[in-house]
Structures are given as C-alpha cells and as structure tokens.
A and B are shown apart, each in its own frame.
Chain A
Amino acid sequence: MNPKIPKLQQQQKQEAVEQTGQLRTAREFASVEEMLRDDAAQTSPPPRLAHRVAESIAKEPKPERSWWQRLFSRRSADL
C-alpha cells in the first residue's frame, strides 16, 4: 500500500470542498463527492443479485490455477 495515498486523498477532499461550496438539499453537503457517497450509502444492490451471481458461478467449470500459483505452491511444498 502506498503510504502517500491518505495524504493525497486528503488533498482531493480539500479540492472538492473548495470547488463545490455547499450543495443545499434537505441536507447540506460540503462537496459533490460527499453527496454521491451519501447516495451510494443509501443504495443497495437487490438481494436477488447475490443469488444470481452465486448460481452463475456454480455453473462455471472447475477453475484451474495459473502457472505462477502452481509454481509458488510447489516451492512452498519443497521448503
């Protein structure tokens, strides 16, 4: 993980607030991003979607490991 990312994201947040002013609705939002985050928090995928995905995956052929995973598992076994 890049340790600079939290600082960068703090800068992003500051820029967003400075450029936006305040968005007034029934609630006030400090930035467009804050409004979208609130909207995202209120929006859930339909519960049936998880079942659809799980059913589709169950129909998939048994997955194979990639060459690098086989390599690393062999090395681990050798140690």
Chain B
Amino acid sequence: MAKPVEVESSFVSDNARQAEALSVSASTPVADGPPSAGDQPKWASPEFGAIYEEHSRQIYYVALRFLGDPTQAEDATHDVFLKAYRKLGEFRGESAMRTWLYRITINHCRNVLQTWHQRNMVSNADDSLWETAVAAAESPLRVLEIKELGQRIQQTLDGLPPEYRLLLLLVADQQMSYKEIATLTEQSPDAVRGKLHRARKAFIAQFQKFT
C-alpha cells in the first residue's frame, strides 16, 4: 500500500531531503527572458523535467476540472510540482508516481476549494480556458465542437458533489485502478465502485440538462 505523504502543512524546511537523481545544482539558470511558444524550459533537474513532462497534462486536467478555473488550475499544478520536488526524497516508489502526484493534487485542490477566495472569485474560465487547449491543426468547426463539449463537461462536473467529480476524474485516467483510487480517497474499493455507479448516473442526468 502506498505510504501516505503529508503535504498539507507548509512547505518543507530548507534541509528537506530530495531524491538522489535530483542532486544536481539547483542554481542552474533557467530560460532567459519570457518564454515563447517554441521555447523548452531549462530544468535545473532534467530528471524532474521528465517527471513533469510525463504527468503534467493529467495533473493539470484534474486540477482544471476539479476547480473549474484555468488560472487556479495553473497555479495548483505549479504548486503540486513544487511540493513534489521538495518531497521527492520521501517518495519510495511504493506507489506509482502518478498516484503520488494525485495525492498531492487532491489535497491541494481541496484546500483551494475551502478558501475564502475560492468562494468569492469570479471565474474567467470562458475567456481563457481554450486558448491553449486545442491543437492549432484542428479545423474551426472541430475547435468549436471541442470548446462547447469542454464547457458542457465543466458545467456538468460543477453540478456534481465534489466527491463524485473527483472519482470520475480519477477513474478516467486509465493508469488508475479502483484499488488505487480507493487508497487515494481513503475508502474501500467496493465503496469506490458503488459511488462511481451513482456518479456516472448523476453525470449523465446533469449532462442532459445542458443539451
């Protein structure tokens, strides 16, 4: 079973232990000037850069659909990977890296949702959500179709209880089994199965309202 990793508290102290693979100079300069579309980030730790490349899309997606706001999702993804970097020395490989990152993401997003700002912030989702989301090669009709479907999915998820929303987002990741989701959400696999059954029904009912 995965060892729970506490990430709720403040960031770890300066002498935080990090993985051996990351013991390169952390003061290596990064990209000069503002990034352009073709720029690749210069990672102080190429190994951590590879972790980011492999998992960032899915972590960002879960944060986006769970929080419902692209700006908050971007900030959350940034904070999740920074926490992961600081805590990487405590990751022993007893669970998959993806599962471990999800644990940090879930805890972080729950905290965000509980803050006063979250309850009072005006979302700018409609304006910026799709600016970077859709591949440039897509036809205008397809872009519109993707945009509308994405908005409908977000509206549907927003109408579900947070627990259902989270379970659906996790189970949509093919790397995640019921058992891993159960461990992440601290319940039995049977409970996950039952709640997912209800979550799917609730999603479909809600989705059809936006036809």
Contacts and interface: CB of A to CB of B under 8 A. Distances in A.
Given A45-B74, A63-B16, A66-B89, A35 B153 contact: yes
Contacts of A46: 70, 74, 132
Interface string B11-23: 0001111111011
Interface residues of A, number: 51
Nearest to B129: A43
Interface in B181-211: 193, 196-197, 199-201, 203-204, 207
Contacts of B110: none
Contacts of A75: none
B44 A54 contact: yes
Contacts of A65: 17-20, 23, 89
Nearest to B152: A25
Interface string A1-19: 0100100110010011001
B153 A55 contact: no
Interface of A: 2, 5, 8-9, 12, 15-16, 19-21, 23, 25-27, 31-33, 35-37, 39-40, 42-69, 73
7 contacts: A35-B149, A50-B40, A53-B41, A54-B30, A57-B45, A58-B29, A63-B89
Interface of B: 14-20, 22-23, 25-31, 35, 37, 39-45, 48-49, 52, 56-58, 60-61, 64-65, 70, 74, 77-78, 81-82, 85-86, 88-90, 92, 132-135, 145-146, 149-150, 152-153, 168-169, 171-174, 177-179, 193, 196-197, 199-201, 203-204, 207
